[in-house]
Chain A
Amino acid sequence: MVHLDDIDLEIIRQLWNGRASYSDVSKTLQVSTKTIGKRVKVMTDSSAADITCLIDPFKLHDHGAAFVGFRILPEYRKAALAIIDDLKGVIMAAIVTGKFDIMAIVSFNGAFTYDAFIEVEVCKIPGIKDMETFIAFGSQNFQLRYLLD
């Protein structure tokens, strides 16, 4: 597992604009352009970081998103997380403390509705006891990866 150091973190900060030139980042951080490129490659190859385009789903016709909390039998939590990660529409998921065991953000559209998520995807989750959905209405910072076809 890759652990990120202070220089990696500074690079990530500088890449708030993901298309910033490595030579500009290099000048700001006083680190060679080659080092920036090498470190970014290690981080992205290991999935520690990802330079990508996020989208506000509410600016697309027929799209929506929700926070979803899952209650899972204790012995299935890890297996359930791995499955949830691969379910259609799931943007991100994590095992959490509190009244839910796993929380996720899920996106939908006209061809892949919330109903389809429940009927086709949720039934694949091992050890699921219960779930609760909080349909999102968006905000200025509500931008997600686009994972639907």
Chain B
Amino acid sequence: MTNRIETQEDAKRHIHLGAMDLKIIKALKNGRRPMAEIAEEVGLPLSTTRRHVQRMLNDNAIQIICLVDPFLIQGHSSAFISFKFEPGKIHQGAKRIENLRGVVISALVSGSYDAMAIVLFNDSFTLQNFIMEEILKLEGLVDIEAFIAIEGGKNYQLRYVL
């Protein structure tokens, strides 16, 4: 049963977007652009364009969202955090990271760590809270390393997840 669920999830992850989807995504760089303008730019009828966007949203392939620079909000900070798991617990651990409080983005990775994430903090949810309360939920965790962001580049804007 578990295997069947995983297979369905895997299949969902492998839905591939086409050239027209990518064209629409590029046109949505400004996420509030009127759909009629997008349709005109990509050369599709409005209803078809809407359908493409809705399908991509439903598949979790895209998200149209307001990102924010955490350095401009008082009491907020963020960090890149790396995770190392026991060999048999890597996939399960990486999956759980997605649901930890404060996690903006995460992924299973190759290299000297097994997973990496960007985590957002504020005065009531600090790095200490993340370590003492959230990290404990990760079974088989061997080690973590935090790289606190002290200055963001011009594109350092994150989902607001707190």
Question: How many residues on the A side are at the interface (Cβ–Cβ under 8 A)?
Answer: 68
Question: In the complex where A56-B62, A61-B16 touch, is A82 in contact with B153 (Cβ < 8 A)?
Answer: yes
Quick check: is A29 within 8 A (CB to CB) of the other chain? no
- Nearest Cβ distance between residue B75 and chain A, in whole angstroms? 10
Map CB proximity to B onto A127-144 as digits: 1 under 8 Å, 0 otherwise: 000001111111111111
Whether A3 and B98, one on each chain, are in contact in the complex, defined by CB atoms closer than 8 angstroms, is no
- Nearest Cβ distance between residue B100 and chain A, in whole angstroms? 10
Question: How many residues on the B side are at the interface (Cβ–Cβ under 8 A)?
Answer: 62
A143 neighbours in B (Cβ, 8 Å): 62-63, 105
Question: In the complex where A52-B64, A54-B65, A146-B22 touch, is A12 in contact with B160 (Cβ < 8 A)?
Answer: yes
Whether A47 and B68, one on each chain, are in contact in the complex, defined by CB atoms closer than 8 angstroms, is no
* Pair count A-B, CB < 8 A: 207
Question: In the complex where A59-B15, A98-B146 touch, is A52 in contact with B80 (Cβ < 8 A)?
Answer: no
A123 neighbours in B (Cβ, 8 Å): none
- Nearest Cβ distance between residue A18 and chain B, in whole angstroms? 4
Q: CA separation between A17 and B44, bound complex, in Å?
A: 24
A residues 61-92 with Cβ under 8 Å of B? 61, 65-67, 69, 78, 81-82, 84-85, 90-92
Q: CA separation between A34 and B26, bound complex, in Å?
A: 28
Looking at the complex, which one of B74, B80, B109 makes contact with A136 (CB distance below 8 Å)? B109
Question: In the complex where A48-B72, A52-B31, A96-B148 touch, is A137 in contact with B107 (Cβ < 8 A)?
Answer: yes
Question: In the complex where A53-B62, A67-B109, A81-B151 touch, is A92 in contact with B31 (Cβ < 8 A)?
Answer: no
Whether B109 and A66, one on each chain, are in contact in the complex, defined by CB atoms closer than 8 angstroms, is yes
CB closest chain-B residue, reference A60: B17
Quick check: is B28 within 8 A (CB to CB) of the other chain? yes
Question: In the complex where A19-B64, A55-B62, A81-B151 touch, is A136 in contact with B31 (Cβ < 8 A)?
Answer: no
B108 neighbours in A (Cβ, 8 Å): 136-139
CB closest chain-A residue, reference B151: A95
Whether A145 and B155, one on each chain, are in contact in the complex, defined by CB atoms closer than 8 angstroms, is yes
Whether B74 and A140, one on each chain, are in contact in the complex, defined by CB atoms closer than 8 angstroms, is no
Whether B148 and A4, one on each chain, are in contact in the complex, defined by CB atoms closer than 8 angstroms, is no
Whether B67 and A52, one on each chain, are in contact in the complex, defined by CB atoms closer than 8 angstroms, is yes
Quick check: is A51 within 8 A (CB to CB) of the other chain? yes
A104 neighbours in B (Cβ, 8 Å): 153
